[in-house]
């Protein structure tokens, strides 16, 4: 049963990372999982990337938010949340990294030197993985803050999400003082000094002496943060690899989406991360509440002219839908056969192409992550 597997995740895990290709309903599924956790009485935060406009409005999201925003009690009550809480935040890399600088700089003055540097705003271009790292940083910081029992992260499309997963390692390698120190002025002698002079000469010729001097000043101000940031990066990876985390792959019956999900599953397993399972979205696997035309109770309407002919035509349409159901159920069975014994593959109820308000999210939350009464 779908509800049992996902209900266990939203009631026991501290972090759920939802990954998948674009267009499979990943953001909506993430929000519904978060809402299910709140309905179970937990303090939940959903971190999202780029939700649909109406869904963003329903969650109270706006661009350039500097911190998570809790949903109002009225909204939560409308969604059936009685004891839990739900907050949401559209990730803002600049805000996350600015907070990181303030927290890890040795002094307030050094933090201000970093933040006022022209290069600060271009840091994501200078350091591969820095923007993705800020997503990992926000996830780690908020999930260990004590404010939330569960944090659900809606990642970018699959290949970008891989960057997110690898960002802590990339940053840790970049923050190796042995590499950074080559760019910093000092009184070293011999080969090391020659290497510094060569790098300074090359950078000055390509970018100009003024830029290289500014880069040195920036890295010097940044230097005191390297150790804490590297340790923090390792903390991010440790959290993501722990039993407190779960990675869900949201997909659809579309073959391209399935290929992305399988590729991503293999990468997750290769990286030693906890793969929880597949969520097959926008499928016809579940026929909750549907009644075949031949089982309709016509009673008093049976004598209405043409009613039997209408039911017969409905039967032809129902046969087409049942063929879709059979196709998607076979697909789900394939996914079930592909997962290890510790994982699962489940399907969501089909509720239409878009769910854009809290009531719709509540319906999906009940359908995918709550055990039957």
Would you place residue 262 in the very low, low, confident or very high pLDDT band (cuts 50, 70, 90)? very high
Write out the two tokens for 22.
């674009």
Q: What is the pLDDT of residue 192?
A: 47
> pLDDT confidence of 367, banded at 50, 70, 90?
confident
Task: Give tens-digit pLDDT for 47-56.
Answer: 887 677 777 8
Average of per-residue pLDDT across 86-105: 79
What is the rounded distance in angstroms from the CA atom of residue 200 to the CA atom of residue 185? 9
> Is the Cα torsion angle 323, 324, 327, 332 positive or negative in sign?
negative
Distances (CA, A) of 150 to 75, 87, 274, 344: 19, 11, 16, 20
Across 301-315, average pLDDT: 62
284 pLDDT exceeds 80?
A: yes
Q: What predicted TM-score, i.e. pTM, was given to this entire model? A: 0.77
In this structure, what token pair is assigned to residue 136? 């990992």
Find the mean pLDDT for residues 278-283: 92
- Residue (of 315, 312, 323, 273) closest to 292 by Cα position: 315
**133: confidence class by pLDDT, cuts 50, 70, 90:** low
The most confident of the ranges 95-104, 217-226, 249-258 is 249-258
Lowest-confidence range among 30-34, 179-183, 259-263, 350-354? 179-183
CA distances from 338 to 246, 332, 341, 344 (A): 18, 10, 10, 9
pLDDT attached to residue 293? 58
pLDDT-derived band at 171 (thresholds 50, 70, 90) equals: low
- Which tops the pLDDT comparison, 27 or 175? 27
Minimum mean pLDDT range among 7-11, 116-120, 336-340? 116-120
Question: Looking at residues 28-42, what average pLDDT do you find?
Answer: 94
Reduce the secondary structure of 135-175 to three states and give it as a string: HHHHHHHHHCCCCCCEEEEECCCHHHHHHHHHHHHHHHHHC
Q: What is the mean pLDDT of the chain?
A: 77
Cβ atoms of 328 and 280 closer than 8 Å? yes
Query: Domains in the chain, ordered, with CATH?
Result: 2-175+225-288+329-369 (3.40.50.300), 296-323 (no CATH)
Q: What is the predicted pLDDT for the residue at 373?
A: 40
Residue with tokens 């993985």: 129
Q: How many Å apart are CA 279 and CA 287, to the nearest integer?
A: 16
CB 20 within 8 A of CB 38: no
Using the predicted structure, report yes or no on whether residue 74 has a pLDDT greater than 80.
yes
pLDDT in tens, 311-348: 666 666 777 778 888 899 999 999 999 999 999 999 98
pLDDT band at 128 (very low <50, low <70, confident <90, very high): very low
């Amino acid at each position: 049963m779908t509800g049992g597997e996902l209900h266990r995740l939203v009631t026991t895990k501290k972090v759920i990372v939802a990954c998948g290709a674009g267009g499979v309903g990943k953001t909506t599924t993430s929000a519904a999982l978060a809402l299910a956790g709140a309905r179970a009485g937990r303090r939940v935060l959903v971190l999202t990337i780029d939700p649909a406009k109406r869904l963003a409005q329903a969650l109270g999201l706006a661009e350039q938010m500097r911190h998570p925003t809790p949903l109002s009690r009225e909204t939560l009550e409308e969604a059936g949340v009685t004891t839990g809480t739900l907050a949401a935040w559209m990730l803002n890399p600049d805000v996350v990294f600015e907070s990181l600088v303030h927290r890890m700089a040795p002094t307030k003055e050094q933090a201000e030197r970093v933040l006022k540097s022209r290069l600060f705003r271009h840091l994501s271009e200078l350091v591969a993985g820095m923007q993705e790292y800020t997503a990992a940083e926000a996830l780690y910081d908020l999930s260990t803050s004590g404010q939330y029992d569960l944090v659900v992260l809606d990642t970018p499309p699959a290949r970008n999400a891989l960057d997110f997963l690898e960002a802590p390692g990339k940053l840790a390698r970049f923050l190796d003082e042995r590499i950074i120190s080559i760019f910093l002025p000092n009184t070293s002698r011999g080969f090391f000094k020659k290497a510094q002079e060569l790098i300074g000469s090359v950078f000055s010729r390509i970018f100009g002496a003024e830029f290289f001097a500014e880069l040195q000043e920036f890295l010097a101000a940044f230097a005191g943060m390297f150790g804490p940031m590297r340790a923090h990066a390792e903390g991010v990876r440790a959290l993501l690899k722990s039993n407190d985390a779960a990675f869900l792959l949201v997909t659809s019956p579309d073959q391209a989406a399935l290929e992305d999900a399988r590729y991503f599953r293999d990468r997750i397993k290769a990286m030693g991360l906890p793969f929880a399972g597949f969520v097959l979205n926008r499928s016809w696997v579940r026929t909750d509440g549907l009644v075949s035309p031949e089982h309709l109770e016509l009673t008093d309407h049976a004598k209405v002219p043409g009613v039997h002919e209408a039911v017969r035509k409905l039967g032809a349409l129902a046969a087409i839908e049942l063929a879709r159901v059979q196709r998607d159920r076979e697909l789900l069975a394939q996914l079930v056969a592909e997962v290890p014994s510790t994982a699962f593959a489940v399907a969501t109820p089909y509720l239409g192409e878009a769910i854009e308000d809290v009531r719709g999210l509540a319906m999906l939350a009940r359908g995918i992550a709550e055990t039957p009464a």
